[in-house]
Amino acid sequence: MRNIIIFLILCTGIIFISCNDGTEVEPEREQDMGHLTLKFNHFVDGKPLITDSMMYVNAAGNPYEINEVMYFISDVTLHKSDGTKKMLDDWKDIHYVEIDIPSTITWNVFDDIPTGTYDSITFIFGIPEEKNKSFMFVNPPEDKMMWPDLLGGGYHYMMINGKWLDESNEEQFYNFHLGIGQLYKGDVIDYDSIYAFVQNYFTVSLPDSSFSIEKDNTKEIEIIMNIESWFKTPHNFDFNYWGGAIMEIQPAMQMGKENGYDVFSIGYIK
């Protein structure tokens, strides 16, 4: 009996020794994290937007007013100088902004952001093709951005609605809407003559968007949409030429898309 006990004690000792090979495994160090808030603001000609007032003149010389502004941005990405990047998609990857809905103006980002210095911020204006699916949003306010299936489906990238004074000085409504474009056979705009769709979303790289994230702190960054820029550089957008509705006019949406690269800027970082 005593031999059995000694044998068992020895076995137990060997098992314990063999389990510990003498090397201490250093636990993986948790990375320090901070948070980010994005604030969206809307300017015209360098001043905060005033809606419902025929007080603006675009580069083509059209007097105009703005009633509504709604748009999506997606795949917001923070870039570090070492090439690493952090996409804001832990909870959501598409953010909707509507000037009349305060909760959309501020995006308290869910993601934990690794601490450090970031060189720049980029995002997609609109929604990339693989994510832009019809019936993706079934609730207000995003659901009203739906883009008809016949015109390519998915959702509007942006709606700017307002009025302009035409050549007769009469008020006309405009819907400066960007989304998936269509290519039509011939000159007739007809659903049956659509032979291809054009993805008009584009990537925006925000100038002067360097910032740092400290541990357990929240950095707030203001992103400004300079609305007048939709109508200039490189193309002057003339309402009198394109009319009030451009959803089915790909050349007009292409002009808006090309004007859009410099629409956004950084306000404050604090």
Quick one: which H or E segment has residue 34?
strand 33-44
The interface with another protein within residues 184-203 (CB under 8 A) comprises 191
Least CB distance to another protein at residue 247 (A): 8
Which residue in 78, 91, 111, 59 sits closest to 233, CA to CA?
59
Does the protein bind another protein through residue 150 (CB under 8 A)?
Answer: yes
By CB under 8 A, which span of 51-59, 129-137, 198-206, 236-244 interacts with another protein?
A: 129-137
Using only the alpha carbons of the chain, give its radius of gyration.
27
Least CB distance to another protein at residue 49 (A): 22
Among 137, 231, 242, 264, binds another protein (CB under 8 A): 137
Per the CB < 8 A criterion, the answer to whether 74 and 92 are in contact is no
Least CB distance to another protein at residue 241 (A): 22
Residue 31 or 108 with smaller CB distance to another protein: 108
Among 149, 171, 216, 258, binds another protein (CB under 8 A): 149
Least CB distance to another protein at residue 155 (A): 11
Among 59, 151, 206, 266, binds another protein (CB under 8 A): 151
Left if phi > 0, otherwise alpha if psi is -120 to 50, otherwise beta: which for 226? beta
Per the CB < 8 A criterion, the answer to whether 73 and 125 are in contact is yes
The per-residue DSSP string of 107-174 comes to: EE--S-EESEEE-EEEEEES--TTT--TTS--STTGGGGB--GGGT-SB-SEEEEEEEE-TTS-EEEE
By CB under 8 A, which span of 41-49, 115-123, 139-147, 233-241 interacts with another protein?
A: 139-147
Least CB distance to another protein at residue 149 (A): 4
The per-residue DSSP string of 81-115 comes to: TTS-EEES-SS-SEEEEETT-HHHHEEE--S-EES
Among 32, 68, 89, 222, binds another protein (CB under 8 A): 89
Does the protein bind another protein through residue 143 (CB under 8 A)?
Answer: yes
Does the protein bind another protein through residue 153 (CB under 8 A)?
Answer: yes
Q: Collect all residues with Cβ–Cβ distance below 8 Å to 22 and sequence separation of at least 6.
A: none
Among 38, 94, 127, 263, binds another protein (CB under 8 A): 94
Among 84, 108, 117, 217, binds another protein (CB under 8 A): 108
Q: Which residues pair with 226 in a beta bridge?
A: 43
> How many residues are recorded in the chain?
270
Binding region for another protein (CB under 8 A): 89-94, 103, 107-110, 134-139, 143, 146, 148-151, 153, 191
